[in-house]
Amino acid sequence: MEALDLLIHAARVVTAEGEGARSVGVKDGRIATVDRPDAPARAKQVLKLGPEVALLPGLVDPHVHVCEPGNTDWEGFASATRAAAAGGITTLVDMPLDSVPTTVTTAALETKRRAAEGQCHVDVGFWGGAIPGNMDELASLHAAGVLGFKCFLSDSGTADFPPVTPPYMEEVLHVLRELDAPLIVHAESAEAIARMPEIHGRSYRDYLRSRPRGIENLAIAQVIEAARATGARAHIAHLSSSDALPMLESARREGVRISVETCPHYLALSAEDIPDGATAVKCGPPIREAPNRELLWHGLAQGILDMVVSDHSPCTVEMKRLETGDFGAAWGGISSLQLSLPVTWTHARQRGFSLSDIVRWMSTGPARFAGLARKGRIETGCDADFCLFAPDETFAVDPAALYHRNPVTPYAGQTLAGVVRQTILRGESVRLDRPRGRLLSREAA
């Protein structure tokens, strides 16, 4: 019997069959065996986990703004991937904006790859961008290895990543239908937003009123109909409006190829609890009321929502306007990469969900969506990426202890359930002083 590189014995292993005691063998960075706990095996290294630790597949986060090159005072590949590893994430996919240049040409993709090379502690893939005027670049970006594309239907917050109109989005979807590549859409209607008054000041209620659910609902309806007309794959980013769930469910029943994500902050926070001036929570779309939050959880339970992603959207401390608390001036985005698993698990288990649900939302589903065939599952042939997770252990969030470049989080001081004890990438424990992450492309995924 050939010796395995690593053999993990665990009382709690989460696979497609559910949670149970298993032994998992690793050879050459891949999962070689998934067997009963007492199955005979030889291994160079044996790891025995107690009943307080669950072995999960490494998490896959397909919605991360790394911001490098160009805005490394916001975040960067080294800091973002350290935070990811500390949070049990073994693969992330970088969004095409908030870096300079934006990933809208093959030359820009190569610039980003060069910036990432040798810095990553987890595996990293890349989305390309669809903006007005780069239609001719989509096929070449796809051929160069991007996993899919992202567009905005409203202002992205950066002038070098302008929004597209709904008719242009449909043209993009026609192109991507031939490539069988997904289009991720920031679904807020620019036309509806233009009718809203500009907001200034510390009132969260004013900010929430400036981004009503109808702005999302209208844009999501436009995405659904564009996907229906083209037969292409569309994906709704960071859903916050529960109003849209029935029409998404209906579209799916009718054969429209559409998938949907939400984020930990929409599942954990509620507008009623946000004090004025608390700009650490500002994001777009905004965090809505508690009844809306509970309907999002229902959407997850019903399978209408496919996945939970961080939408890690960092910035400098100054850009959050913490001193003035001005929601009009503050950057809209939440840094949550390292905390996305414990935040989601804390609130999921209160509602009766299991670790199998977490794996479906945060590992298997995102990996399938991004086309990462060897990620997100504890199954023979998959990459030996694991998160060793103590689900009943708790900790208090200390912003200074996070690996994010800037210590701003809406969860500061909160007690969360679930501690990541160890993260394993391709059979080896991640060491934060030795980056081993690979840059993924569509072909190599």
Which DSSP string corresponds to 192-226? HHHTSPP--SS-HHHHHHHS-HHHHHHHHHHHHHH
Q: Give the torsion sign (CA, 35, 377, 405, 126).
A: positive
Alpha carbon distance 409, 340 (integer Å): 11
Contact call for residues 180 and 139 (beta carbons, < 8 A): no
Contact call for residues 306 and 248 (beta carbons, < 8 A): no
In what order do the strands lie in the sheet containing 258-262?
Answer: 128-129, 149-152, 183-186, 234-236, 258-262, 307-308
Query: Residue 347 in 3-state DSSP?
Result: helix
Q: State yes or no: pLDDT of 357 exceeds 60.
A: yes
* Backbone φ and ψ of 60, nearest 5°: -120, 120
Neighbours of 347 (CB within 10 A): 18
Q: State yes or no: pLDDT of 1 exceeds 70.
A: no
- 25 Cβ contact list (under 8 Å, min separation 6): 4, 6, 7, 8, 31, 32, 33, 34, 35, 41, 43
Q: State yes or no: pLDDT of 444 exceeds 60.
A: no
Does the N-terminal peptide bond of residue 37 adopt cis geometry, omega within 30 degrees of 0? Answer: no
Q: Which helix (H) or strand (E) holds 108?
A: helix 106-116
Contact call for residues 182 and 171 (beta carbons, < 8 A): no
Convert the pLDDT of each residue in 204-234 to its tens digit: 999 999 999 999 999 999 999 999 999 999 9
Does the N-terminal peptide bond of residue 101 adopt cis geometry, omega within 30 degrees of 0? Answer: yes
Alpha carbon distance 64, 83 (integer Å): 11
What global pTM score does this model have? 0.98
For a pLDDT cut of 70, what percent of the chain falls above it?
99
Alpha carbon distance 56, 247 (integer Å): 33
* Span 288-293, average pLDDT: 98
* Span 55-65, average pLDDT: 98
Convert the pLDDT of each residue in 99-138 to its tens digit: 999 999 999 999 999 999 999 999 999 999 999 999 999 9
Exposed e or buried b per residue across 70-96, where buried means at least 16 C-beta atoms within 10 angstroms of its C-beta = bbbebbbbbbbbbbbbbbbbbbbbbbb
- The predicted pLDDT at position 140 comes to 98
Cα angle 159, 229, 179; round to 5? 65
Q: State yes or no: pLDDT of 159 exceeds 70.
A: yes
The CATH code belonging to domain 58-371+394-412 is: 3.20.20.140
* Span 377-391, average pLDDT: 98
Alpha helices in 232-375 (DSSP H): 245-253, 264-268, 290-302, 340-350, 355-359, 365-370
β-strand pairing of 183-186 with 234-236: parallel
| Average pLDDT across the chain, whole number | 97
Cα angle 138, 139, 142; round to 5? 85
Tokens of 334: 């939440």
Q: State yes or no: pLDDT of 445 exceeds 70.
A: no
**Type of residue numbered 357:** D
Alpha carbon distance 408, 402 (integer Å): 9
Convert the pLDDT of each residue in 403-422 to its tens digit: 999 999 999 999 999 999 99
Convert the pLDDT of each residue in 6-30 to its tens digit: 999 999 999 999 999 999 999 999 9
- The predicted pLDDT at position 2 comes to 84
Domain boundaries, the chain: 6-49, 58-371+394-412
Alpha carbon distance 236, 57 (integer Å): 25
Convert the pLDDT of each residue in 310-351 to its tens digit: 999 999 999 999 999 999 999 999 999 999 999 999 999 999
